[in-house]
Amino acid sequence: MKSPSTVKEIQSLTGRAAALNRFLSRSTDKCRPFFKALKKGQRDKWDEECEVAFQNLKTYHTSPPMLSKLVPGEDLFVYLAVSNSAISSALIREELGAQHPVFYTSKALLDAETRYPKLEKLILATVVSARKLRPYYQAHRVIVMTDFPLRSILHNPDAFQRLMKWAIELSQYDLLYRPKAAIKAQALADFVAEFTPSAEKEKLVNQKKESSKADGTSAEPSQPRDMWQLRVDEASNQKGAGAGVVITTPDGTLLEQAITLGFPALNNEAEYEALLAGLRLAKELAIKKLAIYSDSQLITNQASGEYMAKHPRMILYLDKVQELLKAFPTFTIQQMPRAENAHADTLASLGSALDTQFRSSIPVEHLDRPSIEEIELIDTMQIDEDPSWQDSIIDYLTNGTCQRTSPKLERSSRRPRDTTCTATSSSTDHTRPSSHLHKVPSNT
């Protein structure tokens, strides 16, 4: 097939690629230059990027992967990939240690979806895969292979509406989440990295590496590869106090959270609240190695044990921090310049503001009381009540059992009750009662 030269030929090419979507790994990313050429104002613009993508597409189809046939009841595996403009997935089955592709899915992101946080894009890729491959998800147990805490995010009760909707949609399937193992199949080469950096970001990283090599310095921080990073900061103003938390995964993905403090707090107290919120979030994500950064000299030195806390409230906050730090086998606490902690500072400013414009994309937690205040528990006392005539009825309605009572009570319970008016004879009045009245004999 020759290279397209007109709009109609480009449309024909994209239609053929869409028909072969299930056989083409990350087809939307591979065909993105063609869609860009068809946009308004770019018609008849077949540039070098389109030509390179076209040749790569032809090369890929010369040796396409062989799709495997399913075995009823076997477990299936899903690998996810996210770029700036598309989300993709690969449904895989394993046989004798070998990985065989079953189905590929891909979807171009809408303009609003391109602004989702990276982890939300990853969850969206799981949802799209479940929608397109619904029969496979209903008939098999599906294991999502990811290095990110998707399950913890979906099961977080504080998740906002979009995530709750996706969590409910995915709850109908038998899904498991496991860390990614070594990818052995060549057909999964496009899914080695779950996030594909943009061209601008990749260029910037390469320039930084080249400049660091020229200066003889290292551009990467001296942290282990599996070390997570936690950055916290606080903000206080006339509108209130807030805190910001930024967690960076080992591969550079950012997890953001803003905290609104619903109580008056000093700067150091708000800084401690930010640290406690970050530690709680890291504990929920089951992080084992954590590097903690804050621009507060007092907080970092107290948490690391170099400074002693003297104020009663600071002592309580420090005890809370030390209690949470026990959940991390490996951790470090360091002070960093305020200029390098701008991201957490921005989130803290968002938490301290009353405006909720950005809360649809960044989760904002609201704390009603300080973390050092214990929730008051009301002691309840069990009241011993005497046996009641209602006990047998309640027991029959709840357990279906009927308690036997004395014969006298049984006879009285079986005796029909007369709801008409009754009259008794008086010792002094010997008049005969009316016929419509019922005479009750005297016990004497």
- Whether residue 148 sits in one domain with residue 21: no
Residue 265 domain-assigned (yes or no): yes
* Token pair for 263: 């109580």
* DSSP for 84-100, written as a single string: SSEEEEEEEEEETTEEE
Domain boundary among 62, 84, 103: 62
Domain of residue 316, CATH code: 3.30.420.10
Domain boundary among 62, 93, 109: 62
* Token pair for 387: 């046996």
pLDDT tens digit string along 42-101? 555 677 777 777 777 777 666 666 677 888 889 999 998 888 888 888 888 888 877 888
Burial of 63 (0-12, 13-18, 19+ CB in 10 A): exposed
Residue 114: which domain range? 76-191
- Whether residue 318 sits in one domain with residue 262: yes
- Between 363 and 281, the more confident residue is 281
* Token pair for 268: 């150091």
- The residues near 154 (Cβ < 8 Å, ≥ 6 apart) are 123, 163, 166, 167, 170
* DSSP for 163-176, written as a single string: HHHHHHHHTTS-EE
- Whether residue 318 sits in one domain with residue 405: no
Euclidean distance between CA atoms 429 and 254, whole angstroms: 98
Q: Per-residue confidence at 200, pLDDT binned at 50, 70, 90?
A: very low
Euclidean distance between CA atoms 170 and 134, whole angstroms: 11
Residue 69 domain-assigned (yes or no): no
**pTM assigned to the model:** 0.50
Residue 212 domain-assigned (yes or no): no
Confidence (pLDDT) at 191: 62
Q: Per-residue confidence at 359, pLDDT binned at 50, 70, 90?
A: very low
Q: Per-residue confidence at 127, pLDDT binned at 50, 70, 90?
A: very high
- Whether residue 399 sits in one domain with residue 350: no
The helix or strand, by DSSP H or E, that contains position 393, with its residue range, turns out to be: helix 391-399
Residue 375 domain-assigned (yes or no): no
Residue 199 domain-assigned (yes or no): no
Q: Which residue stretches of 218-311 are H helix?
A: 267-284, 297-304
- Whether residue 234 sits in one domain with residue 339: yes
- Between 262 and 440, the more confident residue is 262
Residue 322 domain-assigned (yes or no): yes
- Whether residue 340 sits in one domain with residue 236: yes
- Whether residue 240 sits in one domain with residue 363: yes
- Whether residue 358 sits in one domain with residue 279: yes
Euclidean distance between CA atoms 265 and 270, whole angstroms: 6
What SS3 state is found at 274? Answer: helix
Residue 386 domain-assigned (yes or no): no
- Whether residue 95 sits in one domain with residue 20: no
% the chain with pLDDT above 90: 13
Domain of residue 145, CATH code: 3.10.20.370
Confidence (pLDDT) at 221: 47
- Whether residue 44 sits in one domain with residue 172: no
Residue 68 domain-assigned (yes or no): no
Euclidean distance between CA atoms 169 and 189, whole angstroms: 29
- Whether residue 146 sits in one domain with residue 106: yes
Q: Could you give the number of structural domains in the chain?
A: 4
% the chain with pLDDT above 70: 64
- Whether residue 50 sits in one domain with residue 131: no
φ, ψ (nearest 5 deg) of residue 330: -130, 125
